[in-house]
Structure 1
Amino acid sequence: MTTVLRYTAFTSDPSGGNPAGVVLDARGLDDATMLSIAADLGYSETAFLTEGPDGSGAVPVRYFSPKAEVPFCGHATVATAVALAERRGPGEIVFSAQPGLVPVTVDDDLRATLTSVEPSVEPAGDITEVLDILRWSADDLDPALPPRIGYAGARHLILGTATRQRLATLDYDFDRLLAYMLALDLTTLQLVWRESPTVFHVRDPFPVGGVVEDPATGAAAAAFGAYLRELGLGQPTITLHQGDDLGRPSLITVELRPDDNRVRVSGNAVPLTHPA
């Protein structure tokens, strides 16, 4: 029988963060079974370690939402790394995900830091349709945070809003946003309000995973770090607050290093003793 662990990531409080399923031994499970497990669990994503370490020592991992496989998931990666560290001790593990190798270091306090694959940022093009889907207007946008598509393992459309109130009143057409995102191969929208140069509040609609909103999105956080660097707004350390409007506060730390284009994303994870 397959053992499914439950963790919540980017928090030290079981009532916060983003819940994730973790299957440490998914050898022999086919795609349909992994999708079924993820759907039954109902979390944004479940991570499956499908094999032991390969020749390079990396551990293959796959991620499934309740609706489909996704290329990369930051919060489930953090959860999986912490689950392994609790059993083997702190240190580094390298995951082999669909986009490439993702090293994760877990310290003695069970805080995990993942290093993204090589990120990229591209123009967003015409955003008239998505603004209509979100029921936003052009006046809601922050001109200092222009729309872009960021990538650090998965694609995210980044939209900056001028006010915290606009971010707090998220209300969108689920089916229309799903179709829009599928057409552009987007995993989430990263909706952002800037509190200060180093502190941001974010929300991430995730209809392609069958979820209205993600309480914490590590992959989008990595893409957002690359976005800030591209705009010349990068800081050595950036704090993202997510999940507050859902009642599941999450804290994500993004690190940008001058000698490395990749983005580091850090956070805690704790087991869930009761389903979230």
Structure 2
Amino acid sequence: MTEIQRYVAFSDDPAGGNPAGVVLDAAQLDDAKMLAIAAELGYSETAFVTGRRGAAYRVRYFSPLAEVPFCGHATVATAVALGPGDHLFVTNAGEVPVAVADGVATLTSVPPAVSELPDDELTALLAALRWATDDLDPALPPRIAYAGAYHPVLAVTSRQRLADLDYDVPALKALMTERGWTTVQLVHRTGPASFDVRDPFPVGGVYEDPATGAAAAAFGAYLRELGVVGPDATVALRQGDDLGRPSRLTVRLVAGEPGVRVSGNAVPIVE
């Protein structure tokens, strides 16, 4: 019988963070079964360990609607479920090292990339979000960032604009599906190295992700690419508060290291 574990990631409180399903022995499950389990759980993602060789684990991630190449919060949850030590997750996006100590997991993303967001895509994205160009922070220009999955990054000058998120679900889902975007990273700068963030995720079958480790890694790459922070930097992200699921993510940039580190704790959900 398949054992399905439930964790929240990026919180030490089961009532906070982002819930994830974890299946540590999924070698006998086909794609349809994994998708069915993810849909039944209803979490934004469920991680399935489909094989192991030493400290290397083949991991796949499914939302309620589709497989995604990489998921940060489910990686954190799975690594904590595996226990302390150094693990290597072999994902559809590439190899992701994860270190676990004292209930905190630190993943290092695949090499990231940052590119321009074309004007027509920005216009369509703003329309789907029901935002205006004047809402955007000129110090943090729109970009597409990747660290295992693709995320447009939009920064706003007003925290209230972030709080009032009310997007056109069919329009944003269609745009994201067409462009291959996993979530949209919406941010508001609250300090020199701190941000409030929200992540719509209609392509995954949920309105919003309470904590998004993959987008956090991509955002770290964005900050480095634009020179917003130095080559060695620690950035604090606050997410989930608007949903009543407070989540805290730590992004670490290390000079000379191409990947972006994302850290957070995870605790089991006891039902």
TM-score band w.r.t. shorter chain: over 0.9
Please show how residues 175-254 of structure 1 align to structure 2 within 5 Å.
Answer: 175-235=170-230, 236-254=233-251
Partners of 2:53 and 2:153 lie apart in 1 by 35
Cα deviations by residue, 1:196-252 (Å, 9 ceiling, x for unpaired): 121100000001100100000000000000000000012410000000000000000
1:105 aligns with 2:99: yes
Please show how residues 130-149 of structure 1 align to structure 2 within 5 Å.
Answer: 130-149=125-144
Name the amino acid aligned to 1:184. R
Please give the secondary structure, in 1, of the residue aligned with 2:252.
strand
Cα deviations by residue, 1:17-63 (Å, 9 ceiling, x for unpaired): 00000000001100000000000000000000001227xx4210000
Name the amino acid aligned to 2:19. P
Name the amino acid aligned to 1:110. G
1:117 aligns with 2:115: no
Report the aligned-residue RMSD.
Answer: 0.8
* 1:128 alignment partner in structure 2: 123
Please give the secondary structure, in 2, of the residue aligned with 1:143.
coil
Contact 1:58 1:101 in 2 (8 A): no
1:94 aligns with 2:94: no
Name the amino acid aligned to 1:203. R
Range with greater deviation from structure 2 (125-134 or 205-214): 125-134
Unaligned runs of 5+ in 1: none
Name the amino acid aligned to 2:94. G
Partners of 1:234 and 1:256 lie apart in 2 by 9
Please give the secondary structure, in 2, of the residue aligned with 1:52.
strand
Q: How many residues align?
A: 267
* 1:270 alignment partner in structure 2: 267
Q: 2:73 aligns with which of 67, 72, 75?
A: 75
Partners of 1:173 and 1:134 lie apart in 2 by 6
Q: 1:150 aligns with which of 136, 145, 151?
A: 145
Please give the secondary structure, in 1, of the residue aligned with 2:184.
strand
Q: TM-score, normalised by structure 1?
A: 0.96
Partners of 2:53 and 2:77 lie apart in 1 by 18
Name the amino acid aligned to 2:88. V
Cα deviations by residue, 1:112-159 (Å, 9 ceiling, x for unpaired): 000000000011112111111111000100001100000000000000
Partners of 1:187 and 1:234 lie apart in 2 by 25
Range with greater deviation from structure 2 (235-244 or 213-222): 235-244
Partners of 2:177 and 2:116 lie apart in 1 by 17
Please give the secondary structure, in 2, of the residue aligned with 1:6.
strand
Partners of 2:75 and 2:127 lie apart in 1 by 33
Partners of 1:273 and 1:234 lie apart in 2 by 39
